Amino acid sequence: MAFPKIETCIVCEIIRPEVLNKFSLLGFFGITPYVHVTLKDVRLPAALTFVFCAGSGEGKFTCDLLIRASDGRVVPNSWPGAISGELKKERAVTSIFMAFIGAFGASGAYEVVLNVDGRPVYSTRIHIDEGELEKI
């Protein structure tokens, strides 16, 4: 069995580990490609976490995250790079958490790419907006 096909990507601000192998998603923005993230200033660093969701897989893999602006510019990620791990076929689902901390620099559409062992396996998009944050 190979790396599983990614079906969807959830975007939130941060993930918090919980007991019994669970995780809390904090600051939920949405599911790609329908995500709009509003930042007060796109020139300042923002924190986003991408949860790539798939079925079962098997094997050892190294994953990394790439975010690219519509003009082709790669947005630098100051979060430590790639993660490595092993998928076991006994698990029915796969969730891969990839963090991003960086400054987008401009509003607009951005491509989010999950690379596995150096090759792209999933691509989606998010939209970054600059403006006043809504008060609830």
Per-residue pLDDT of the chain (136 residues; tens, 9 = 90+): 588 999 999 999 999 999 998 899 999 999 999 999 999 999 999 999 999 999 998 899 999 999 999 999 999 999 877 889 888 877 778 889 999 999 999 999 999 999 999 999 999 999 999 988 776 5
Distance CA 55, CA 34 (A): 22
Alpha carbon distances (Å) from 53 to 4, 36, 42, 76: 9, 19, 27, 24
Alpha helices in the chain (DSSP H): none
Instruction: Count CB neighbours of 60 within 10 A.
Output: 9
Distance CA 113, CA 119 (A): 10
Architecture of the domain delimited by 6-130: Sandwich (2.60)
- For residue 129, which of 30, 35, 14 has the smallest C-alpha distance? 35
- The domain ranges of the chain are 6-130
